[in-house]
Amino acid sequence: MNVSVIRSMVLASVTGIIILLDQLTKQQIMQTMRLHESIPVIPNLFSLTYIRNPGAAFGLLAGSSNAFRMVFFGLTSIFALGLLGTILLRMPEEDWMGRISVAGILGGAIGNLIDRLRFGEVIDFLDVYVEHYHWPAFNVADSAITVGVIILIIHFAFEKRTDPPAAETSSVP
Active site residues: 124, 142
Task: Report which residue type is found at 140.
Answer: V
Task: Report which residue type is found at 105.
Answer: I
Backbone dihedral angles phi then psi of residue 168, each to the nearest 5 degrees: -80, -20
Q: On the CB side of 153, how many CA atoms lie within 13 Å of its CA?
A: 6
Is 15:106 a contact under the CB 8 Å cutoff? yes
